[in-house]
Amino acid sequence: MPRRSSRSVASLAPLAALAAALACAEAPAADSSLPAAAGEVPPSLAADSSVAGTRPASAPAVVSADSGSAAGGAAPRASADTGVIRALHSSRGARDRNSFLAAVRAGAKAEGSWPAGPKANAGAVLPGKRIIAYYGNPLSKRMGVLGEYPVDEMLRRLDKEVAAWKKADPSTPVQPALHLVATVAQGQAGRDGMWRARMDSALIEKVYGWAKRRDALLFVDIQVAHSTVAAELRPLMKFLERPDVHLGLDPEFSMHYDREGLRPGAKIGTMSAADVNVAIRALDQLVRERKLPPKVLVVHRFTRKMVPDAESIRPTANVQVVMDMDGWGPPWLKFDSYRDYIVAHPVQYTGFKLFYGNDAKKGDALLTPAELLALRPRPLYIQFQ
């Protein structure tokens, strides 16, 4: 079992009611020990790229620009399109341009639906700030920038992205963050058959210490595999009771519903709104009991089926929900995915994920702040992997 300090054990005692609520929400999975000792890389964490969050975005059925006419005739629309096109990187081709315009137009039509949900209580991060997050796990170079570079270099790179976003949108303060995959889907079942590895407290504390060096937030991310949201939340609650620690959920590796019994990564997983609402209720109760500022919950998505009933997700005044456009691919595919899987299914706030390697592996330039700021609604959570 992961080792806990006496302070951590003591801090869990007042959360007995919360633990009971989580136990009622879903049947608890057997609590396995880590498949590796503290600091050792779980085998599939390092070896299986399909379990490393590198799936491509899915190609939507429609990739051409919306041909409908705007109110006021073609001339105003052409003028508006010209302004939007100026935001595109000079290297983008015709397909990128058409998809970009279609995404911007669809977003402009749907913007009144975003953000949905109640107004947040005092101390909320969103919408007053934009979060710029570095993603990954220090035990793997293949899961993202948190493990790809030595910590000092990684933080310097984060500083550069923060500076770029401050320059691109001076009106919105930038909040840096580190986004740690704390429960990692695995290529082997493990002793309890849950196909996931829980990172130990020492590793989470180490990454939290890195975040503190930049006054950054820490996100702890869950890939449930064959376990449940409720079961994987329990060991993370002692971290989430800190005001600067928030949560992420990754439906890609949720092997339930029609994915039951499959190895994580064999097929793209599914997480229902009911699963997400389990996390929202737990965080809401934690915020109320501990008198914390509102929590941010990031839900990754790049297909419709990953969260098939997203409109039934219920944010609260204590829990702000970001639907994060995940998945890698060429610019046109990412624009289409944002339009079809994020904009078209309003929840609350939006995010956008960029892959330094996979997005650029066919020679495309990484999407720029100017391009993302032209989208509607404007993403308030930008994640780099």
pLDDT at position 72 is: 44
Position 9 in a domain: no
User: Which residues are within 8 A (CB) of 374 and not within 5 positions of it... i.e. 6 or more apart?
Assistant: 84, 87, 100, 104
pLDDT at position 78 is: 58
Position 6 in a domain: no
Number of domains in the chain: 1
CATH of the domain at 329: 3.20.20
Residue 285: Cβ within 10 Å count: 18
Distance CA(22)–CA(111), nearest Å, equals: 34
pLDDT at position 219 is: 98
pLDDT at position 116 is: 82
CB contact at 8 A, 218 and 245: yes
Position 44 in a domain: no
Position 371 in a domain: yes
**Please, what's the b/e burial string for 215-227 (b: 16 or more CB within 10 A of its CB; e: otherwise)?**
ebbbbbbbbbbbb
The verdict on whether omega for the bond into residue 28 sits within 30 degrees of 0, i.e. cis, is no
Give the pairing of strands 174-185 and 196-198: antiparallel
Say what the pTM is.
0.84
Position 148 in a domain: yes
pLDDT at position 272 is: 98
pLDDT at position 57 is: 73
Position 52 in a domain: no
Query: In the chain, what are the helix, strand and coil shares in percent, each to the nearest 5?
Result: 40, 15, 45
What the block records as the tokens of 260 is 């039951």
> Which H or E run includes 264?
none
pLDDT at position 252 is: 97
Position 37 in a domain: no
For 337, the domain range is 71-384
Position 257 in a domain: yes
Tens-digit pLDDT string for the chain (385 aa) = 232 222 222 232 333 344 444 444 443 333 333 333 334 445 454 334 334 444 577 654 433 333 333 344 455 555 567 778 889 999 999 999 999 999 999 999 998 888 888 999 999 999 999 999 999 999 999 999 999 999 999 999 999 999 999 999 999 999 999 999 999 999 999 999 999 999 999 999 999 999 999 999 999 999 999 999 999 999 999 999 999 999 999 999 999 999 999 999 999 999 999 999 999 999 999 999 999 999 999 999 999 999 999 999 999 999 999 999 999 999 999 999 999 999 999 999 999 999 999 999 999 999 999 999 999 999 999 999 9
The string of DSSP codes covering 139-202 is: TBSSS-HHHHS-HHHHHHHHHHHHHHHHHH-TTS-EEEEEEEEEEEE-SS--TTS--EEEPPHH
CB-neighbour burial class of residue 185 (10 A; exposed 0-12, middle 13-18, buried 19+): buried
pLDDT at position 70 is: 37
Placement of tokens 């899961």 in the chain: 143
